[in-house]
Structure 1
Amino acid sequence: MLQEVKGTQYLTALREGGSLPGIVEADDDGTYVVKFRGAGQGSAALVAEIVVGELGRRLGVRVPDLVLLDVGGKLARSEPDQEVRQLLLASTGRNLGMDFLPGSVDYDGIKWRAPAEEAARIYWLDALTANVDRTWSNPNLLVWHRKLWAIDHGAALVFQHSWPAVDGWANRDYGLGSHVLSSQAADLGARALKELDAELAELVTAARLEEVLALVPDDFLLALDSANGADAAALRGRYCEYLLARCAGERDWWPEGAA
């Protein structure tokens, strides 16, 4: 289970993105970047954050620790900014927090270049989960203590918005030529990339996906399909089905130019 903490003080809004995440202190003395369920993307983004982030962690990708952060009415009422206050009031209850990495900087590929294998692992994860939000306009990568950290996976798992046919989605081609790490991944070389692909695919098992989906709270899942009497266990099974099917496909994902 993800650790559960209670928000004690809202510090500041991060206005770079459309969902208005915020930095919040919690009762465990930690500081977190919080994604709120009351934001426009709703619970779907929180589900994607947990599934992709925790799967990535198990595939050797560095992801900041995730927690379930409770937002109470007192926290909202003490916020002077009207937009933020409304968001907090719409998000009372459990939300998703990501450990704040103080002093981290956005990855630009210039001052420091990601090691090829680390880049390839993130690239592969993004291809598996159809994460289209890792381009130079929005890298969603941080450098902290000279190590690469992957953040912000809310735009992945696009199938959860419409549940298309499993086979069609599993074999859908996602153009990743604009991926921020494509050139670094290609540097690993074709033979090493093939070996890494086999290693990562072997790790994406039903048992591992079930372990990851078990971390997603029922209420996050049920909010996605409340009108149809959704069942949380059945929804977890659907996520596993879609990801296993995509992993079992051709996986012709690596960037062109890998020698």
Structure 2
Amino acid sequence: MSKIEIRTVDVVQYIKPLREGGSLPAIVKADDGFLYVLKFRGAGQGKKALIAELIGGELARAIGLKVPEMVFMNLDDSFSKTEPDEEIQDLLKFSVGLNLGLHFLSSAITYDPLVSRIDEMTASKVVLLDSLISNIDRTAKNTNLLHWNKELWVIDHGASFYFHHNWDTWKNHLSRTFPLIKDHVLLSRATRLAEAAHEIKQSIESNKFEEIIATIPDDWLQSESDTLTPEEMRSAYIEYLNAKLSMIQLLVKESEDAR
């Protein structure tokens, strides 16, 4: 069993903002020479979006979907001092410290449901992944899917796990299904949901959730507004994922009914 290793790199150059993202991610260069899409801890949903991105991405990888490599990215305070745009300057200032980067897939094209082709098994896995992590952000308007090297890559899971924005009520979400799956961009192609569910259960080893949750930096789990300790939060994420996996047949039925 392989432990999840996530590299840490330093940002050495801020290249340009990606204006299509609501949270203003940016293309940056790291000290390893590669380009990354940097997700900022100082953006709207803050560190919780980074946590959702990390868990969602690593879970997608675990079930056999293509996800760009994720790295932790150190950002120092020198970038905000030379940035002329005030909005970006503030974002850089509030994001000093550890952020999350995704390997930049150069010349990738956005998935277009009217043009792009995708096999039914992959579509079914993506639909069930998004049901498991309550990802509200994979619609025709905003697919968060890329075509690169003739393969489908899943990105942007920051809007998942919305229960963690209010820890007082998180347990209410344990038994809920995910009715918003009706808006999923791949639902019409997801005709092999039962098979996909079986494969997902096979590919998630008994402590896979613990491994993924263990990669979350302690620093991202600390906030004055949260009522739980970092350890309690880790346990909550694991309990949530186990609860969702145990009801995957219900999620299959919900998706099939919606389709």
The TM-score normalised by the length of structure 2 is 0.91
Identify the match of residue 4 of structure 1 among 1, 8, 11: 8
Secondary structure of the corresponding residue to residue 57 of structure 2: helix
- Kindly provide the CA deviation profile for residues 204-228 of structure 1, in whole angstroms up to 9, marking residues without a partner as x: 45510010011110111123xx345
Deviates more, 1:196-205 or 1:120-129: 196-205
Deviates more, 1:197-206 or 1:120-129: 197-206
Change (3 A) 1:81 1:228: closer
The yes-or-no answer on 1:184 pairing with 2:185 is no
How far, CA to CA, are the matches of 2:129 and 2:172 in structure 1?
19
Change (3 A) 1:97 1:168: closer
1:2 positional shift: 1.4
Residue number in structure 1 paired with 2:255: 254
How far, CA to CA, are the matches of 1:120 and 1:53 in structure 2?
17
Secondary structure of the corresponding residue to residue 98 of structure 2: strand
Residue number in structure 2 paired with 1:197: 197
The yes-or-no answer on 1:166 pairing with 2:171 is yes
Q: Which runs of structure 2 are paired with 1:1-259 in the superposition (5 Å)?
A: 1-163=5-167, 164=169, 166=171, 168-186=173-191, 188=192, 193-223=193-223, 226-227=224-225, 230-249=228-247, 250-251=250-251, 252-256=253-257
For structure 1, the residue ranges without an aligned partner over 5 or more in a row are none
**How high is the sequence identity, in percent, across the aligned residues?**
39
Q: Which runs of 4+ in 1 moved over 4 A?
A: 227-230
The TM-score normalised by the length of structure 1 is 0.91
1:90 positional shift: 0.7
For structure 2, the residue ranges without an aligned partner over 5 or more in a row are none
- Kindly provide the CA deviation profile for residues 100-120 of structure 1, in whole angstroms up to 9, marking residues without a partner as x: 000001000233211111111
Amino acid at match of 2:77: G
Secondary structure of the corresponding residue to residue 233 of structure 2: helix
How far, CA to CA, are the matches of 2:112 and 2:100 in structure 1?
26
CA contact (8 A) 2:181 2:258 kept: no
1:253 positional shift: 3.7
CA contact (8 A) 1:8 1:26 kept: yes
Amino acid at match of 2:243: A
Number of equivalent positions? 251
